[in-house]
Amino acid sequence: MNMILVFLSVLSFLISLTRAYFAGDLFYIYHFCNNTVNFTRNSTYQSNLNLLLSTLRSNATHGSSDKFSEGFYNATASQDPDKVYGLFLCRGDVSAETCKDCVNFATSDITQRCPLQKETVIWYDHCLLRYSGISFFSTMDTKPAKAWQNRQNSTGGLFNQQVRNLMNEAVNQALNTTKMFGTVKKNYTASQTLYGLVQCTPDLSRHDCSTCLRLAISSFDECFSINIGGRMMYPSCNFRYELYPFYDDPSIVTPPPVFLSPPSPGSVTSSKGKGRKAIWIAIGTTIPTICLFILLVSVVRHRRRRNKGLALEATRHFSDENKLGEGGFGPVYKGILAGGKEIAVKRLSGSSGQGLQEFKNEVTLIAKLQHKNLVRLLGCCLDGNELLLIYEYMPNKSLDVFIFDSTRRAQLDWKRRISIINGIARGLLYLHEDSRLKVFHRDLKASNVLLDHEMNPKISDFGMARIFGGNQNESNTSKVVGTYGYMAPEYALGGVISVKSDVFSFGVLLLEIISGKKNSGFYLSEHGQSLLAYTWKLWCNGEALELMDPVLKQSCMAAELLKCIHIGLLCVQEDPADRPNMSSVAVMLASDTVSLPQPTQPAFSVGRIIARSGQSSSSYSKICSVNEVTLSDVSPR
């Protein structure tokens, strides 16, 4: 029975991974970067562009009653001369979820493909995204153009005429809809059906839409006259035809189940014969299912043993000399695979208080989330009570190893620290707004930020993370988890969880990175108050630069440091409504011209517990930990 339960659990997980894979399989088609019009890094234009892309992502995620219902949204950011114009258009037949996934991916992908170009456009199978420093709204644009064709030749003139007729009918249909989107299918032969699709951006006039589509179709004779499928893409319109269904056609249904024909009037079938026939039918359908089940169980068991075996060999049977540290999940070990690849293995501790649910939570989340500022999962193992997570190895361990160490913090100059701050912000922004799932981390802290060989930050430990629905921004929980010193007051005291809870944690972490001091232990120092209270006092007295870690004096720019302190104080304000969201934080960090609001007084004392003199950190955490809220210092990975 246990084996069956494990199998069903793993099978469910594998199915979810498969769905995630196919849902994320956004087919890239083409992109254009205008290299004659560029901007400089960290300029006002780039800040405005970041704000615009965040706006497009937000409207793809949350929707808009006037635009998103049509799978289309356009927006601007800032004022001339650095104003940015942008839009997205989703294919008229795709779901809101697919549209959201495509737009979210496109806003990240285009900045990688066209990092400094002011004018860009990118096409995918499900959407297009476009932005420019010059207004193009409600304007018909036929450049740049991209043509694609099927390599297989058509049968000649009759086929070509059929396509022309099909596309003309689709254009007429599109012009009679608010979406400016039309699909038509026609029988080509007794066994073949011809499918066509046309679409314009809905901000065009009907006249311009008609002109754009007919110009695209007129290129048919030049580009597609001897091919059985093809498409033409302009920034303002596109068309496509194929001899197979390439769009969501509600009239295409799955074939009905096949039933056995009843016996002919002349035949004689006894009830016993019918019963025997039914038995053989049942056996014929059941045996393959059983065989598949056994096969999958064998695969799962093989993979499970293989992963465990690899972990055991790589870590020398979890030897103490390979131990990197101890986290809330359990001990973490360094391993080296046969090919020389380094890995980190987290092993569930029986006394950790965490179990299968937290394990599955972390595996499921990290498998679905892919971002350069999130740690990457390489494998996992479930074998009885043995639960293992296998990650990419982070040679520079975790952030707390550097910023809270009197010697190592000198390795983090201001340029490196601001890079780490920006990376953490981008990772959180992805979790909150840009990923397929809306995720609240709930345990963001210095020890949960790992550093790769180039000191790039990667957020880790998703065992306590919470997934929210597309439009859900807040929830209550009776089970408070996380780490005192980083928890927002409304969460620690009232169990109210929201994106603003993670923002609070980010603000605490930001001030820790600047000062090199722990918020949770700062009140034990000579200042006699929390890090947040001390920062607020310095800010109000005009002495905020006193917060700076002394090792930064040679590398720090005063104006940039003051801006970061300002942002940190905005993030830790007591009222969640006053805190910015992560998209705003990212823009504020990237821009030197954005006007920042004045912060209000932060929450000073959330979960403050003072350890007895001489008490070790490990015993301290055991005495003071409640409701799975940890006070322990997690050692490096």
b/e map 519-528, b = 16+ CB within 10 Å: bbbbbeeeee
Q: Do residues 26 and 126 lie in contact, with contact meaning Cβ atoms separated by under 8 Å?
A: yes
- The long-range contacts involving 213-219, CB below 8 angstroms and separated by at least 24 positions, are 213/167, 213/171, 213/174, 213/237, 213/239, 214/171, 215/142, 216/142, 217/164, 217/167, 217/168, 217/171, 219/145, 219/147
Q: If residue 284 lies in a helix (H) or strand (E), which one and from where to where?
A: helix 271-314
- Report d(CA 489, CA 132) in Å as an integer: 42
Exposed (0-12), middle (13-18) or buried (19+): which is 1, by Cβ within 10 Å? exposed
Residue 388's nearest CA partner among 285, 464, 312 is 312
340 Rama class: left (phi>0) / alpha (psi -120 to 50) / beta = left
**DSSP β-bridge partners for residue 231:** 148, 240
- Report d(CA 518, CA 509) in Å as an integer: 9
Cα angle, residue 224 at apex, residues 222 and 227 outer, rounded to 5°: 145
221 is catalytic: no
Question: For the packed helices 271-314 and 2-23, what is the interaxial angle rounded to 10 degrees?
Answer: 80
DSSP code of 577?
G
Residue 595's nearest CA partner among 51, 17, 5, 4 is 51
**Number of neighbours of residue 502 by Cβ within 10 angstroms:** 27
- Report d(CA 124, CA 146) in Å as an integer: 12
Residue 454 corresponds to which amino acid? E
443, 461, 549, 633: which is the annotated catalytic residue?
Answer: 443
Task: List, by residue number, the catalytic residues.
Answer: 443
